[in-house]
Structure 1
């Protein structure tokens, strides 16, 4: 299952947004208002939203200034959250979040709507930076 977020313009230099997303503590600023738990430990963070199970993400890959890939810390659910960043000029960049997951049909049906809403919220909050 793949969910692509909207491409947005962020009023930050490409390196500045990359550095912001590389510091996992900053993901708390992008989370929905319904966040109930957020903990960073090394190269991973755990978050819990009201009415959903807690999810742990691990920093899997960073390609300087253009890509950050987070992956599921649990082997039970295999998915990635990828941030692609493209420079526009010295003070702005284009960003897009993509979710890629391997789910059975029943699970995909259950999680598609909440995941899409979650991605939209992360994207909207990133746009406000």
Structure 2
């Protein structure tokens, strides 16, 4: 299952956006209002939970400055990744798109498609306000 957020314009350079997303503490400011838990576990790992959903632990898997950040599931039964793609529009402007990729059975995919789509859209649209 592959899902994409809308492309979001940010009035910051790709390096500034990359640096912001590289610091996992900043993800707390991107989370939706229905977050019930956010905890930094290490320099590259954090845990969060949304109301009514299980806890999810994400870990930095790949950094390619200043254009790509990949977070992946750290443990748990589900294997998925969240990729932030950053494209330079000009010196002080970037375009960010989040991609969710996971291998789920059809029933699970059907159940989580809506909530995951809404979640990555919330993360993406929160980036310009949070940097």
CA distance in 1, matches of 2:36, 2:4: 25
TM-score (norm 2): 0.95
TM-score (norm 1): 0.96
Q: How many residues align?
A: 129
CA distance in 1, matches of 2:127, 2:9: 9
Cα shift at 1:71: 0.2
Cα shift at 1:100: 0.2
Cα shift at 1:75: 4.9
Equivalent residue number for residue 25 of structure 2: 25
CA distance in 2, matches of 1:105, 1:74: 21
Equivalent residue number for residue 36 of structure 1: 36
Equivalent residue number for residue 60 of structure 1: 61
Cα shift at 1:60: 0.1
User: Where do 5+ consecutive residues of structure 2 fail to align?
Assistant: none
Work out whether 1:89 is the aligned partner of 2:83.
Answer: no
Equivalent residue number for residue 72 of structure 2: 71
CA distance in 1, matches of 2:113, 2:91: 36
CA distance in 1, matches of 2:32, 2:18: 21
CA distance in 2, matches of 1:2, 1:106: 15
Equivalent residue number for residue 123 of structure 2: 122
- Greater shift after overlay, 41-50 or 95-104? 41-50
CA distance in 2, matches of 1:124, 1:66: 18
Equivalent residue number for residue 100 of structure 1: 101
CA distance in 1, matches of 2:111, 2:89: 37
